[in-house]
Amino acid sequence: MNTPNGSSSLVYELYCSKCNTKYNYNEKQSFATCCEKPLLFSYSLAKGTSKEILNLANKSIWRYAPFLPILSQKNFVSLGEGLTPTIKLEFLGNHINIPELFLKDETNNPTGSFKARGISVAVSKLKELGIKKCIIPTAGNAGGALAAYCAKANIEATIIMPNHTPKVFKDECMLYGANLLFVDGLINDCGNKAKELNKNGEYFDVSTLKEPYRLEGKKIMGYEIAEYFNWDLPDYIFYPAGGGTGLIGIWKAFKELIELGWIKNKLPKMIAVQSSSCAPIQEAFNDPINWKQKFTPEASIANGLAVPYPFGMDLMLNVIKESNGAICTIQETEIKENVLLFSKKEGILISPEGAATYMALSQFQKNGIITKEHRVLLLNTGSGYKYIENVI
């Protein structure tokens, strides 16, 4: 295959998501210093590209390697992430008269969540760039994933998480050999601690969207969704949005698939689901200028949704706008009730984040926005087993 960089990757440019200033993707990059916004990769995509470019024998995200920014296969750091199942929710679909209701279940990923996708690509890039130390603030799942992949790659990982994080998240980080620190507060407070520890630039910061690599791994969910539905996308996708990398990544994948000519139908409406305890997307949507001054975030039983000041806010709002989507906030009690509903009626111990999506769909159905004619996909971002102490 002839590629612009002489590798199997079709990566073309790395650019600022606000002003399009170009950055060298062959060098270590964090975020766009020109505008203090996330960096995005683009690829050399041409209509008519054959799907034979996919390595269908590979049952991980790396079957889509040409659309990832790792230049040499020898640098892939994989634990078998991706290609997770999409399940038809028979009972819950019939319960609200949405017969075409599906769940993309990320439970089967290494360390039990979708974070494995982004971390696999990020750690692969750290290996490719020769980086030996990294740091991350986390609400839980990203820390466990980083600890596991850094163990595989022989990279030192320092992980900072809130004190109130369930014990299982803390234990897995220590078992994988990571350095673990705790902070009173939410993930933004952990981010401040990471910045303080890294004032001399000793570590590579793997914070959400403050580096461009995790987004690329998360976007592969979009490729998998399209492939599962035979390149005919659902009408609605409900996504539990904390830092928002998955929401942004899935939408990015759909736009790349349009460039390739692999999907032609109308794109889905993207619904960002948050907890009422911490719903910054709704706040920013309602008052783009002053929302931070008025916002008082709290912890959530859905740890991954407690991201008060996401770095990718502009990109998330763009996804909502471009897809004619919406934002939906769910009460904490409703999230807990829906965890129990999933386990008792579908046999799936779902994460609180994933459970919130079904409650959001129920609201849309009651309001007549979504009907039995629509095909709907919910995203469950991780295993409910890690959250048992939050929901019992």
Which CATH number belongs to the domain containing residue 283 in this structure?
A: 3.40.50.1100
233 and 356 co-located in one domain: yes
Residue 5 — very low, low, confident or very high, per pLDDT cuts 50/70/90?
low
Cα→Cα distances 319→237, 247, 254, 384, Å = 12, 8, 11, 27
Residue 346 lies in a domain: yes
pLDDT, tens digit, 9 for 90 and up, residues 73-130: 999 999 999 999 999 999 999 999 999 999 999 999 999 999 999 999 999 999 999 9
311/243 same-domain check: yes
pLDDT of 7: 66
Tell me whether residue 212 is in a domain.
no
Q: Which residues lie below 8 Å from residue 70, measured CB to CB, with a gap of 6+?
A: 9, 76, 121, 124, 125, 128
Q: What is the pLDDT of residue 67?
A: 98
Residues 274 and 240 in one domain: yes
Distance CA(249)–CA(244), nearest Å, equals 8
Q: Stretch 334-359: mean pLDDT, rounded?
A: 96
Same domain assignment for residues 93 and 146: no
Closest to 329 measured CA to CA, from 288, 257, 391, 271 = 271
Residue 81 within any structural domain of the chain: no
Q: Does residue 139 lie in a domain region? A: yes
Q: Which residue has the higher pLDDT, 293 or 64?
A: 64
Q: Per the domain annotation, does 5 fall within a domain?
A: no
- The residue among 184, 205, 226 that closes a domain is 205
- Domain annotation covers residue 360: yes
| pLDDT at residue 29 greater than cutoff 50 | yes
Q: Band of the pLDDT at 390, cuts 50, 70, 90? A: confident
Shared-domain flag, residues 41 and 125: no
Q: CA-CA distance, 131 to 129, in Å (whole number)?
A: 6
Q: What percentage of the chain has pLDDT greater than the value 70?
A: 98
Are 289 and 351 contained in the same domain?
Answer: yes
How would DSSP label each residue in 340-372? HHHHHHTS--B-HHHHHHHHHHHHHHHTTSS-T
| Confidence at residue 141, expressed as pLDDT on a 0 to 100 scale | 93
Average pLDDT, the chain: 95
Asked whether the predicted pLDDT for residue 308 surpasses 70, the reply is yes
Kindly state whether residues 133 and 98 are assigned to the same domain: no
Q: Is residue 193 part of a domain?
A: yes
Q: Considering its fold, how many domains does the chain have in total?
A: 3
For residue 58, what are the domain limits?
Answer: 11-75
Same domain, 236 and 338: yes
**Residues 351 and 381: beta-carbon distance below 8 Å:** yes
Do 237 and 309 reside in the same domain of the chain?
A: yes
Binned at pLDDT 50, 70 and 90, residue 338 comes out as: very high
158: in domain: yes
Q: Collapse the DSSP code of 55 into the 3-class scheme (helix H, G, I; strand E, B; otherwise coil) and give the result.
A: coil
**Looking at residue 35, what is its pLDDT?**
98
Tell me phi and psi for residue 74, to 5 degrees.
Answer: -65, -15
d(CA 186, CA 163): 9
- In DSSP notation, 18-29 reads TT--EE-TTS--
Where is the domain boundary, 27, 54, 75? 75
Do 227 and 369 share a domain, yes or no?
yes
- pLDDT-derived band at 1, boundaries 50, 70, 90: very low
Task: Note whether 51 and 147 are same-domain residues.
Answer: no
pLDDT per residue as tens digits for the range 152-162:
999 999 999 99
**Once rounded to an integer, what is the mean pLDDT over residues 201-226?**
97
pLDDT confidence tier of residue 300, bands split at 50, 70 and 90: very high
pLDDT band at 2 (very low <50, low <70, confident <90, very high): very low
CA–CA separation, 221 and 247 (whole Å)? 10
Percentage of the chain beyond pLDDT 90 is 94
Residues 133 and 249 in one domain: no
With both helix axes pointing from N to C terminus, report the angle between 213-228 and 115-129 in degrees, rounded to the nearest 10.
130
Nearest to 384 by CA among 53, 57, 105: 105
pTM: 0.96
